Structure formats: structure tokens, C-alpha cells
Structure 1
Amino acid sequence: MKIGMVGLGRMGGNMVRRMRRAGLEVVGYSREAEVNRKLADETGMIPADSLKDVVAKLDAPRVVWLMLPAGEATDAVAEQMKQMLQPGDVLVDGGNSHYKDSQLRAIEMKSAGLSFVDVGTSGGVWGLANGYSLMVGGEKEAVAHVQPFLEALAPAPDQGWLHCGPNGAGHFTKMVHNGIEYGMMQAYAEGFALMKGKTEFDMDLAAIAEVWRNGSVVRSWLLDLTADFLSKDQQLDAIEPFVTDSGEGRWTVIESVEQGMPAPVMATALMARFASRGEGDFASRMLAMMRNGFGGHAVKQRG
């Protein structure tokens, strides 16, 4: 079995490594020639020097997997692939594209005789060792065609991947997954902050995290990661309280509004990330001035 992988960053590169360990042939392409060379030397990946070369080095019916940033980068390469691939070939988007974009892309590819599969990919930098969680959308025949690659990337051939539904369902499931992740992370952060704030108890946060990891209802992989970094540093004084968001949490909250389905935990977690970046600072200054206006409460001055 042979697959083309376009995008050899942290996720794409490790996915190549995992597929090569499973004995699959991979034709890989990155715009950075040095990345191509190093990964080829390390894994036996077949390097390609262009998108056209990726297609030329694959056997029909071809499978090309895009592992690129959502938006313009994926859009541009998908459009080029639409022109280069032949009827019967399969294009896979394993990035974090919006599910509505994937629904439209499937229609566009079908008009060219191509199949499209959207794969929500979770596992991060640990996916190489542990396998990836793969949420798949597409027509049954197309998913069956890429199944050997899904089985190689997942924790086990029969675990960790699922054909969730038609095109868009894979990326939709991953979007909701990330919304849940936001809420879980926020709950852990607030809980540990409460314990850190109870200074008279002098609590060992790392030890508490370790206890919770074993038998507790709130145990999870996120807690495993939390226990690990707390064992090294419980103060985190060198860390800026600035939390970015990849976009999928926003999409999940927007989806809840569109459906009229309440999702207050996800929405609040998203707002907390905005607040961490100072995006609520002006509103906070407004609140301080209002309190000063009606009650004469003191206002803290900068500097």
C-alpha cells in the first residue's frame, strides 16, 4: 500500500513515521527540501520535490493525505490536487478544517470524479507512540479505500478510529471533541487554582494530581499531563497567563448558537481563553470606573 503525505510538520512527520513502522510505503512532500531529505533518510519515506511529483510517484487509484493548517493552505493545495489527480483517486484532509468547508470540498471533488475523506485527528505529539484518534467522514467506499492507513495510524487496527458519517462528519466530531477539551482543561485549571489559593493547607498539588490519576472519577490523559508538569514546577511563575485557541473551540460554540443548544461550559472556557490574552481588559476598566462612579470605590492606577 502506498500513500502520499503532503505536510510534514510535527503531526504529518510523525504520521509518516508511524505508517512506515507499519510497513506502508509513503511518498512525502514538504515545501522545505531539508525536511523531506531528513525524514526520507530516517524512515525510508519516498521524497517528492513537488505536488506533481507526489502524484507521479503514486499508483492509481491514488490516496493523497493533506496534513496542513486549516484555511488558505489547505484550500490552495486541495485545489491543485483537484487538477492533478485522476478520477477514482482519493483526497484526504486530516487537518482541522471546518466541517462546512469539508462538505463543500467533497462536492467539488466529486465534480472532478474524485473521492474526499475528512479525518479529524487527535493525539498531538504523543500520536507516534500511542496512535491517533481518527474521526472519519466520507462515503463508505472511499473510507474503505483508506482504511489500511487509518488502521496503521490508530492505536490498534480495530480501536481508535471510526467512520462517523458522511462528508463533514469527521471534522464535525473533531470540532466537538476540541470544545469538550476546552471545558475539561478549564475545570482542571480552576480546581487546581482553588487548591493553590488555600495557602493555610500548604497542599502538594503534584501529589494530589497523582492521587486523582489512580482510581478517581476525574482521571484522564489531561490529568496525566497535569501531574507530570506539576511534579517539575508547582508555581509556574515563569509561564505567561496567555492561552491561545486553535479555532475549533470557537466553531463549537458558534454551532451551539446555530442549533440553539446550550453549551455554557464550552462557551465559558472559550471566554476564559480570550480573557487570558487581555481581550477583556477594557471591559474590566469600564467596570472599575462604574463602581467608582456609583459607590466611590477606589480605582487602581497603573504604574
Structure 2
Amino acid sequence: MQHFLSLFDISPDDLQLILRTAGVVKQKLAAGDRPNILKNQVIALLFEKPSLRTRVSFEAGMAQLGGESLFLGSDVGWGKREAPSDFTNVLGQFVDAVVCRAKQHSKVELLASFNAMPVINGLTDLCHPCQALADILTIEEVFGSYAGKHLVFVGDGNNVAQSLALICAMLKMRFTLACPDGYEMDSDWMAKVQAAYPDAEVETQHDPAAAVKTADAIYTDVWTSMGQEAEMVARRQAFKDFQLNKTLLQAAPASARVLHCLPAVRGEEITDEVIDGDQSDIVRQAGNRMHAQKGLLVWMLGRDWISKNVV
């Protein structure tokens, strides 16, 4: 059974096909065509953490594909009222797939271990593969191609950064993390990336101005993620020189674009001037969450349509 817990679950060829499918479906939507590729199919959205973009993009995307979605919050008692095997196997009787947004990556792994239905990672503490799909789709649209592009992530080596490092390795892009000492990406994760893609151009720097010097896209995220609130003061001090502001943007090529996965803490990791500026693609990037995930859903649940409609 095909799951999508991280980008390690697919091959570079799979990834490129998902991105091409997303592009085709997006073009059809722009032309007013909403093919019922997933008619009568149902996905569940099993969320432990709050969400705007992930929830709405999956719900809207599934509706546009002719299917339906069910939002499952804390009231369903996941991990509380019954054995995980009972919960998951019963859920698999009702839905065609589940999108899980969990606090710990081990929870989506447990969900997938029963093979009751395909499981899609909607975000965990380890990685955020759906966000990475949208990010690359955005870069491809902006530049005409993602091939050979240099993506620089300024900030914490968090779940988003780790997914970006992997997707860049898969697509032979260059990835740089610019972060304070002690906030690098997980060493086990990076060892796995290097083992799978030994020619990957993935590096870490501690000087943000030097890091963005050859950037095609500069990406940032909040300094303090959900669950890290006790570290907020220390993190603000550690990251104070890593703000994406006009000065840092001027250290990059004039053609560089600005990305942020949102929500943003304006005035902290990014200034209003930059997030609302002419080089920002943040709104397009957020919109591409839906289009990229539609490509993923069609790849997972409507493969026959791809063979007839996607080159």
C-alpha cells in the first residue's frame, strides 16, 4: 500500500510525476475545468494540531476533484478511547485515505503500519512533505524550471527545512540552511538524505548574508514552532541576526524570490516590507498547497487518469 509519510516514500520519478500532475490539474482549474477524477472517494483529515492551509487546501482540493473529506478532531478519540489498531482498521472501512497532522512523527508511522488505508503526512515534528511539494511547484512556476536552482532557508533546521533539503536532493537542486549554531537539521535525517542521494548539494552555513549570495529563492519560517513556546525568549536571542529583512534581501541577487510557509510572525523572522514586497511569492506559494496536494491525491487515488492526461 502506498503511503506518503515523507518524501523518502517516493522516488524522484514519482515526485516529478506528482508535480506534473499538479500542474496539469491547476491549468484545468484555471480554464474552468474541474474533472471528477476522485468522484465518490472520501478522505479523512485526522488533525491533532491547528491548521488553516493544510485543512482548507485538502478540503477544497478534494471537492474540486469530485470527492469528499471528513474533518476528524479531538472528539473522535484518536489514541485515547480505543486501541490504535481498532481505531485505524475501522476508519479504513469508511475512507479511501487519511491525511494526518500529528505532533509526533511516530503517530503517523503507527497509523500507516496497519495498512488500513493510504496515509498522507499533513505535518509532523519530523517533516512536512506536502509543504515541500507546494514550494517546488511555486519555484517551477516563478522561474520556469526548478532545475539547478539554489534554495536558501534562513532560520531553524525544523521539519520544513528537512523536507526542503530532501526534495532539493531528489531534484538535483542546491539547498543551504542558514541558522545559528545549535539549530541545524537532525543529524539522523541528514545522514539518511546523504545515503539516499550521495551527490546532493545540501549544506549548512551560519552567516545568512553569505548564504543568500547566490540564492534563487530565500525561504524562512517562524523561529518558535508550536510546542516550543518555553524556548521563545532563547530562540529570539539566537535568531536575532537571521531576520529576512531588506538588508538581507539586498545581499542576494536582485532576481531572488521570497518564500514563507506561513503563518508568519511579522516583524520577527520576516519584516512587513519583505513579506509584502515585489519579490514575495508567499501568497502564490500558499495557494499552491491545494494544487500540489491535488496532484498528490490524484497520484495516490486516481493513477489511471494520469496515464491518459499527463505527459
- TM-score (structure 1 length as normaliser): 0.31
More helix by share: 1
